[in-house]
Amino acid sequence: MAEPAAPNLANIQGNILGGFNKDFQSFLFLHFSDRDKGRAWLEHMAPEIATSEEVVAFNTLFKQANRRRGHEYGILKATWTNIAFTASGLKALGVPDAEIATFSEAFRQGMKARAATPFPTPPFPPASLGDEGDSDPSHWIAPLGSKDVHAILHVASDSHADLHATVARYVQNLDFNGTVKRLFTQEGIVRQDEPGHEHFGFKDGVSQPGIRGVDLPRPGGNPNEGNPGQDLLWPGEFVLGYPTQIDGPDTVNTPPVVPNPNPGPVSKSGPPWAADGSYLVFRRLRQDVAGFHAQLHQLAPANGLDPRVFAAKLVGRYHSGCPLEPLKGQPQGHDAPDDPAVGADSLRNNNFEYGGDPAGNAVPRASHIRKTYPRDEDTPGGGENNTQKRRLLRRGVPFGLSLNLNAPAPHDSGDRGLLFLCYQSSIEEQFEFVQKIWVNNSGFPQGGDGEDPIIAQSKTGLFACPGANPANIPALKHFVTTTGGDYFFQPSISALYHIAGVPQPLGA
């Protein structure tokens, strides 16, 4: 059997498989009022769009230089741009209705319409995104979720000055006479006081899937892993037109390998030109940081736990990113108030499983990282082979200023949180499945476990924490609110020219 082709990184937009990893980011939400002028603008913008080939090469060189010099500042800089479209945006640019109809239903409807849409998937109960109450789309920041939003232009840079110079240049090229209109701009910025950490204080983006053909196995290591514990998945889980994971046992190797390492069916969605593209989910998640920490200090003592330990129980990791679950090959005490020293070893802190902790004594089964990625845990969906088909390439960035919990803030707006971005080949079977069937489902992994205590959208929810007194956690308050979002399709470089209605220039 011939080895499947590696991803065409030169044709795939850069944030998908490369990951921008920039401290300063801007998201411009655009509207096209004239098809032909919108296409002309897209033709003009297409050469500006960064590819995964460029971004992967830059990130590799950046890491090499950083390791040798011992610091990252002043070594290399870059500013990257990507673009993605809503279904209404493709229609505004003249993509035929018959072609739009071949894209996924979730993409065509948009996130706003899916907020309370039931998602029946046997053997799971019907569920929805949970964007109700304070998270209901009626409370979203305009125009997020509106059919007027046709595209999202994503700009990311290593410096604030370079970012805004690039954004200013793009804004000057927009036609404010009604052709391409900027409806809204959202800024994202890595926390300067705790880089790499989200506003509740935890290191973010630790557990990312590896991608075959992009991430390489470590010399002498497991050929089906990148970094230790990072399973290599087929790129079709994230980009259209490539092999996917097999949702079933490995019948090729003896003994069988888990997750199944053999290539599955090629991912398909949309018209033929959608190959090398990916579906983008964008959510603006506001975090009530003061409320979260107040609850920690209220509930932790009532359950005989240090607040730092109780927080780690909710998330499944310590502040540093080190997991509560023991790392493979290394004994580790649980419930220590301080992060184990290994927490700084980002190459190893993903090397663990849950199969040895079925009761959730180390990591509660409803903790955030266990809910969103149950690893080798038995699940109603079929265990790890099925779980690997639910993975997401997360590219989030915080927004808003950090909150100093030790200082009074009578005029603080409280508008801070996470701009959640993820890429996948199926919105329904990846993002929506995780949010509806795992995160919001109090019966997953097992009955009575509770909802995800971090990103479930209900005001309060159950949380089963072994070792704690259930009477002291009657209903855990939730402190993340959806304030906007939508579903986008991020086309390949060649598809941008196709949508613009012009031939792709030689070498572009």
Q: Based on the domain organization, do 43 and 184 belong to the same domain?
A: yes
**Count of domains forming the chain:** 2
Q: Based on the domain organization, do 474 and 495 belong to the same domain?
A: no
Which pLDDT score is estimated for 336? Answer: 55
Q: Based on the domain organization, do 330 and 366 belong to the same domain?
A: yes
Q: What is the DSSP string of 43-92?
A: HHHGGGPPBHHHHHHHHHHHHHHHHHHS--TTT---EEEEEEE-HHHHHH
The more confident residue out of 163 and 3 is 163
d(CA 264, CA 245): 5
Which pLDDT score is estimated for 381? Answer: 87
274 occurs within a structural domain: no
Averaged pLDDT, 202-215: 94
Q: Based on the domain organization, do 369 and 335 belong to the same domain?
A: yes
CA distances, 457 to each of 129, 212, 360, 440, 452 (Å):
8, 34, 23, 7, 9
The more confident residue out of 486 and 404 is 486
The SS3 call for residue 450 is strand
Q: Based on the domain organization, do 494 and 476 belong to the same domain?
A: no
Q: Based on the domain organization, do 307 and 186 belong to the same domain?
A: no
- Read off φ and ψ for residue 133, nearest 5 degrees: 60, -130
Q: What is the pLDDT of residues 240-256, one digit of tens each?
A: 999 999 999 999 999 99
Q: Is the pLDDT of residue 263 over 90?
A: yes
d(CA 427, CA 213): 23
d(CA 183, CA 33): 12
Q: Based on the domain organization, do 462 and 493 belong to the same domain?
A: no
% of the chain surpassing 90 pLDDT: 74
Q: Is the pLDDT of residue 343 over 50?
A: no
Q: Based on the domain organization, do 111 and 149 belong to the same domain?
A: yes
Q: Based on the domain organization, do 455 and 493 belong to the same domain?
A: no
Confidence class for position 413, pLDDT limits 50, 70, 90:
confident
% of the chain surpassing 70 pLDDT: 92
Lowest-confidence pick of 39-48, 153-162, 171-180, 296-305: 171-180
218 occurs within a structural domain: no
408 occurs within a structural domain: no
- Report the relative pairing of strands 232-233 and 417-424 from DSSP bridges: unpaired
Confidence class for position 68, pLDDT limits 50, 70, 90:
confident
CA gyration radius, the chain: 22
CA distances, 16 to each of 53, 105, 189, 466 (Å):
11, 21, 19, 38
Averaged pLDDT, 204-224: 93
Can you give the pTM of this predicted structure?
Answer: 0.95
Which residues form the domain of 53?
Answer: 14-198+488-500
End-to-end CA distance of the chain: 33
Lowest-confidence pick of 83-92, 141-150, 346-355, 364-373: 346-355
Q: Based on the domain organization, do 41 and 74 belong to the same domain?
A: yes
Averaged pLDDT, 216-231: 92
Beta strands in 378-447 (DSSP E): 393-394, 397-399, 417-424
222 occurs within a structural domain: no
d(CA 326, CA 330): 7
CB-based contacts of 331, cutoff 8 Å, min separation 6: none
Averaged pLDDT, 465-470: 83
Q: Is the pLDDT of residue 473 over 80?
A: no
Averaged pLDDT, 189-196: 94
Judge contact between 64 and 4, C-beta under 8 A.
no
CA 361, chain centre distance (Å)? 27
267 occurs within a structural domain: no
Q: Based on the domain organization, do 315 and 341 belong to the same domain?
A: yes
165 occurs within a structural domain: yes
50 occurs within a structural domain: yes
In b/e form, how buried is each residue of 218-239, taking b as 16+ CB within 10 angstroms? eeeeeebbbbbbbbbbbbbbbb
Which pLDDT score is estimated for 339? Answer: 58
279 occurs within a structural domain: no
Specify the length of the chain in residues: 508
Q: Based on the domain organization, do 192 and 79 belong to the same domain?
A: yes
